[in-house]
Amino acid sequence: MDYMIEFEDLLIDFIPHNEVTSIQPYGKGHINVTFLVTTKEKRYILQQINTKVFPDVDKLMENIVNVTDFLIKKGVTTLEVIRTSDGRAFTEINSQYFRMYAFIENSVTYQVSESVEVFEESGFAFGSFQKHLADFNASSLHEIIPDFHNTPKRFNDFLKSCNADRYGRLKSCIEEADFILQRRNSLSRLTDSIREGRIPLRVTHNDTKLNNILIDSDTGKTKAIIDLDTVMPGSLLYDFGDSIRFGASTAEEDEPDTAKVHFDINLYNAYKNGFIRAMGDAVTPAETDLMPYSAYLMTIECGMRFLTDYLSGDTYFKTKYPQHNLVRCRTQLKLVSEIEKIFDLRTIG
């Protein structure tokens, strides 16, 4: 496909004074379609926004602009939204929505933790992200995906997908479904704690995978946090737990051989040390106590989401083959079983 021709009008809207020399698919994201745009002067990231996942593009981009502008004013390196010729944060062509960011040069991402030091740095990165936004008014943000980390509701959605079994897939994942059903009474501790005021409501990233951190290629230190689509009001523990469920695994999220998938307690401790070091006294004792539980909760929630999407016909996460979401679910449930062996979750919270 000749992307130069397909996106000609769109590119002119964002960068009218730069000659584009190439445009190529880029990255491994599940949701949006991403391209690397190269001009004679600099590079950019162009994304087609998935409006099935993010139907209200105005609110989506308002969140991103408000958070990035806030961080930029503090001198924090972050995504730089490129405005269109008439000052908008996105453009629409043929009922498709696009946005552009400046490309952050001399940076790399990791799919799995290559060392304990890398993962501790990622903990410091997301802890710093939380600390920088501690005085941002979280109530001003739109809830882009309602009940995004409302795990009890995620469980109800999972039950509905099992009962409907629209595509006849339940028979291929009975063991995984039973695993989740057996843990139905362990899923509400964070939502209860927020509702009862035992932990604070914060601005959270809500997708704190290791590969959403840009690392400086030379220093190995964090340059920026990316993928801000799910920035919303939430709990610090959503960010912490999601980082652990992705980064403390010894394998990639879609590793088909679960014998390679293990929960690494050394990586957990390294991330926790980095995260708390960055936040200092901004983290509360109640949040610290719930950190092991949050690792469990975010991992089983993600497994439920993958399995729900598999049963529902793969409408949310991009897949490369028919059982891709089921494979992803199995990696998460393997991690859950190992987390349970390490922590006595009954005494937490």
SS3 249: strand
CATH fold for domain 108-347 = Aminoglycoside 3'-phosphotransferase; Chain: A, domain 2 (3.90.1200)
User: Residue 48: what pLDDT?
Assistant: 96
- Asked if residue 77 lies in contact with residue 223, where contact means CB atoms within 8 angstroms, the answer is yes
- Measure the N-to-C terminal CA separation of the chain; round to a whole number of Å: 53
Whole-angstrom Cα distance, residue 84 to residue 90? 7
Ranges of residues in the chain whose predicted pLDDT is under 50: 347-349
CA distances from 111 to 215, 254, 300 (A): 12, 11, 20
Backbone angles phi, psi at 22, to 5 degrees: -165, 155
Hey, where are the domains in the chain? Answer: 3-105, 108-347
Write down the CATH number for the domain with range 3-105.
Answer: 3.30.200.20
Q: Which residue has the tokens 């737990």?
A: 241
Whole-angstrom Cα distance, residue 141 to residue 143? 7
CA distances from 334 to 105, 196, 249, 322, 337 (A): 36, 31, 10, 20, 5
In a 13 Å sphere around the CA of 285, the CA atoms on its Cβ side amount to: 0
Whole-angstrom Cα distance, residue 340 to residue 345? 7
- Asked if residue 331 lies in contact with residue 254, where contact means CB atoms within 8 angstroms, the answer is yes
**Two tokens, residue 281:** 């006294």
User: Residue 41: what pLDDT?
Assistant: 87
- Asked if residue 167 lies in contact with residue 311, where contact means CB atoms within 8 angstroms, the answer is yes
User: Residue 348: what pLDDT?
Assistant: 45
User: Residue 299: what pLDDT?
Assistant: 97
User: Residue 346: what pLDDT?
Assistant: 60
Question: Could you report the per-residue pLDDT of 84-98, keeping only the tens digit for each?
Answer: 999 999 999 889 999
- Burial class from Cβ neighbours inside 10 Å (0-12, 13-18, 19+) for residue 50 reads middle
- CB neighbour list of residue 250: distance below 8 Å, 6 or more residues apart: 112, 260, 261, 262, 263, 264
- Asked if residue 137 lies in contact with residue 200, where contact means CB atoms within 8 angstroms, the answer is no
- CB neighbour list of residue 220: distance below 8 Å, 6 or more residues apart: 117, 118, 121
